[in-house]
Amino acid sequence: MKKILLLSAFFVFGLTAATAQETAKTTKVTTEVKKTKKTKKAKKEVAPEVKGPSIVFENEIIDYGTINQNENGQREFVFTNNGNEPLVIKSAQGSCGCTVPEAPKEPIAPGAKGVIKVKYDTNRVGVFQKNVTITTNVSDTPKLLTIKGDVKAAPAPATPATPATPATPATPVKVQEVKS
């Protein structure tokens, strides 16, 4: 009798364990399917399709930090056309002569990246903040980009000591004797 009771207990336990494993597998598969659906949905929300050209900059402000006078003042604004039509940069203009932008002349294809180079004249000492105005076929409103930083004066070059000029030989003076 004990053997039958023990055997029945093992049978029930085994059946319960097998059912629990099947339930766990089904739950795992269902969870993975739900996650996949959520992931696909999130991707659509992250990259919506933009009709027409569009421009998105990685950074709209470039901070040079503190740099030395006459260091390389060249920096780059990287952008992407996330629209479905070509992006045309009509003009790129610095706010003064010390800031010179250079924009691509060719249209930027949908999904492609582009670069606007900006050179700041680091011969000028002091804190600066300048704008670059970008006009495109995206909007009638121009896009403003900013560069800023602090140019420190270069240390004055050490001037060598000026050599002493050689003494000119004294001209002998004739002394006349005065007779009294």
pLDDT digits (tens, 9 = 90+) for 99-137: 999 999 999 999 999 999 999 999 999 999 999 999 999
Q: In the predicted model, what is the mean pLDDT of the chain?
A: 79
Retrieve residue 44's tokens.
């659509």
Number of C-beta neighbours around residue 114 at 10 A: 20
* Helix ranges, the chain (H): 2-46
